[in-house]
Chains A and B, each alone.
Chain A
Amino acid sequence: MMNTFQQIQEALQYAFIQRAIIAGCFMALGCSFLGVFLVLRRFSLIGDGLAHVSFATVAIALLFHAQPMVVSIPLVALASLVILELNEKARVYGDAAIGLVSSFGIALGVIIASTAGGFNVDLFSYLFGNILSVSGFEVWMTAVISVVVVLVTALFYHDLFAITFDEDYAKVSGIKVKAVNRILILLTSLIVVLGIKIVGTMLVSSLIILPAISALQIVRSFKATIALAGVFAVFSVVIGIFASYVLNYPSGATIVMVNFFLFVGSFLFGRLKG
């Protein structure tokens, strides 16, 4: 009987595991970097919300025999801007704005699927990606998008920090708050749409929220929070994939569980540290 180390060595021989680890780590970095800003600005559930919107956009694409990604990316981006407008102009709280748009998305998707019929299986295969079935092209796509997210976050770091801490002061400082907010939300919609197809809804949403809130339990500086969230996210993906292989558990759910235990550990450590 093989020990755990041998099993991990064996897992690393498989190309699908290698692709899952590479794509997962890139996705983890992109989601966790954005996650710190989204969590602090009460937009944590945007991953779930935009996933529901994707349900409608994929249904529309299948109805018109179009490529789902081509339809989803602009429509989900539009939905994310609507969430922001509702928050800024209609004074709807961020979480309520997400709830409103995602309810509309899921209802529209259900209506289209039920009236058109015949493509439910396709619809669900687009919405519930599996990290172990990532193709080589998808690894590249994930890498490019995540590098773009990390670079843009780094370029706008000071603007994002100022807006997250105190939006009015950021405006007084001459920061183009509206434009920066739109950049943040569009990057989020991009990574969510790709992430849903590649690694699945549950994993994208958890990689946005959990590493950020775990890091917030421990560190007290902003840069350290972003760095630690990135470390937690990558660690959870790597350990989660190996654990799922060794224990024969579903990989996405195992990664989420690793993230959850990291949060519990961080919470206890934060309490002990005082």
Chain B
Amino acid sequence: MSVKVIEAKDVSVQYQGVEALSRISFDIESGDYIGIVGPNGSGKTTLVKALLGLVSFDGTIRFLGKSLSDFTSTKHIGYLPQKMSFLDQRFPATAKEIVVSGVYCCKRFPKRLSQGDYKAAEEAMEILGIINLKNRPIGRLSGGQQQRILLARALVHHPQLLILDEPTVALDPQSRESFYATVKKLNKENGVTVLLVSHDVGSVGQYASKLLYLDREIIFYGTFVEFCKSPKMSDYFGSGQHLICHRH
């Protein structure tokens, strides 16, 4: 039986008087793979930050049936932030140190790590094919390898919901396809609910079960096939809709 993982109702976000999101409402059920798409500045990352409680918002967001403000356990969420503009290439940490930090959400103060936690980190790295990088400094890895390290960090505590914010921006086309396939596998085989933000509608559309097209408000929410047949999206994109839908 499907469970509602996220219920968002009339969610609005304002930055210094400018409305970044306007009355967004949608539900996500367990096992869904939702692609949040839209042009630059459409509010995709703002929506993710609202879902994660990183920005204040009007409206309600319920996570696994509980209001976000009451929901104190973050152990059900795995989060991969937008391309690591924050990542200092000289940061002194090995890949394994970064991955194991994903279990902090499940630990009480003072967060002592066990052998099992390190084993879980190695298993997550094994699944993503990056176990050979475990002792390498994070700053010495390629963009694709760093992204996989952070994906492993997001997965190490076996979350029910995986939120990925523009995870493929720094990747070459081959790595991008491989990344999407890995996420799809996690969704299909492990039953992880996925919420993936991208501005590349065509690529995400191939993998996601539903697309949520955002432009400060919800323009479209449905499957990729419905997206391609939607007269509303045809009006919105003009001939661009054909290019998006038939590129693959």
B38-59: which have CB < 8 Å to A?
A: 52-54
Q: Is the interface of A mostly helix, strand, loop or mixed?
A: helix
Contacts of A157 in B (CB 8 A): 110
In the assembled complex, how far is the CB of residue B111 from the closest CB belonging to chain A, in whole angstroms?
A: 4
Kindly report which residue of chain A lies nearest to residue B139, judged by CB atoms. Answer: A220
| Contact status A158-B101, CB under 8 Å | yes
Q: 21 A–B contact pairs at CB < 8 A?
A: A158-B101, A161-B97, A162-B101, A162-B104, A165-B91, A166-B81, A168-B52, A169-B79, A171-B54, A172-B53, A172-B79, A172-B105, A173-B74, A174-B104, A219-B92, A220-B92, A220-B94, A220-B136, A220-B137, A221-B137, A224-B92
Quick one: which of B73, B81, B101, B102 contacts A174, CB cutoff 8 A?
B73
- Across-interface contacts of A162 in B (CB, < 8 A): 101, 104
- For residue A273, give the distance in angstroms from its CB to the closest CB of chain B: 12
Closest chain B residue, CB of each to CB of A217: B90
Proximity string of chain A (156-189) to chain B, C-beta cutoff 8 Å, 1 when within and 0 when not: 1111011001111111111100000000000000
B72 close to A168 (CB less than 8 A):
no
| Interface pairs A-B: 4 shortest CB-CB | A220-B137, A173-B105, A158-B111, A225-B92
Contact pattern, A 206-222, Cβ under 8 Å of B = 1, otherwise 0: 00000000011001111
Cβ contacts under 8 Å, A158 to chain B: 101, 104, 107, 110-111, 113
Which residues of chain B are within 8 angstroms of A222 by Cβ–Cβ distance? Answer: 92-93, 97
What CA separation (Å) do A158 and B107 show in the bound complex?
10
Quick check: B92 and A216 within 8 Å, CB to CB? Answer: yes
**Total contacts A-B at CB 8 Å:** 79
- C-alpha spacing A178/B238, complex, angstroms: 47
| Chain A residues within an 8 Å CB radius of B77 | 172
Besides A172-B74, A173-B105, 9 new A-B residue pairs in contact (Cβ under 8 A), listed by A number: A161-B93, A161-B97, A165-B91, A166-B81, A167-B86, A169-B81, A173-B104, A174-B105, A219-B92
Whole-angstrom CA separation of A168 from B52 in the bound complex: 10
Q: Find out whether the CB atom of A172 lies under 8 angstroms from the CB atom of B113.
A: no
User: How many interface residues does chain A have, given as a range?
Assistant: 20 to 34
Residue of A nearest to B86 (CB): A166
Whole-angstrom CA separation of A169 from B107 in the bound complex:
15
Structural contact, B105 and A165, CB atoms closer than 8 A: no
CB distance from A274 to the nearest CB of B (A): 10
Say whether B111 contacts A172, CB under 8 Å. Answer: no
Bound form: Cα–Cα A259–B111 in Å: 33
Q: Is A2 an interface residue (CB 8 A)?
A: no
Complexed CA–CA distance, A40 and B87 (Å) = 11
Say yes or no for A155: interface residue by CB 8 A criterion.
yes
A219 to B73, CA, bound (A): 35
Q: Within B55-104, which residues are at the interface with A (CB < 8 Å)?
A: 72-74, 77, 79, 81, 86-88, 90-94, 97-98, 101-102, 104
CA distance A157 to B110 in the complex (A): 8
CA distance A225 to B90 in the complex (A): 12
Q: Nearest chain B CB to A195's CB is how many angstroms away?
A: 24
Q: In the complex, what residues of A have CB within 8 A of residue B109's CB?
A: 155, 159
Return chain A residues, CB-CB under 8 Å to B113. Answer: 158
> Known: A158-B111, A158-B113, A172-B52. Contact between A216 and B101, CB under 8 A?
no
B63 to chain A, nearest CB (A): 12
A88 to chain B, nearest CB (A): 13
Residues of A within 8 A of B87 (CB): 166
- Nearest-neighbour CB distance to chain B for A128, whole angstroms, equals 33
**Scoring A residues 131 to 172 as 1 if CB is less than 8 Å from chain B, else 0, what string do you get?**
000000000000000000000000111110110011111111
**C-alpha spacing A1/B104, complex, angstroms:** 60
Chain B residues, CB < 8 A from A161: 93, 97, 101
**Cα distance A171–B104 in the bound complex, in angstroms:** 11
Residues from chain B with a CB closer than 8 A to the CB of A220 are 92-94, 136-137, 140
Residues of A within 8 A of B97 (CB): 161, 221-223
Bound CA–CA A67/B216 (angstroms) = 58
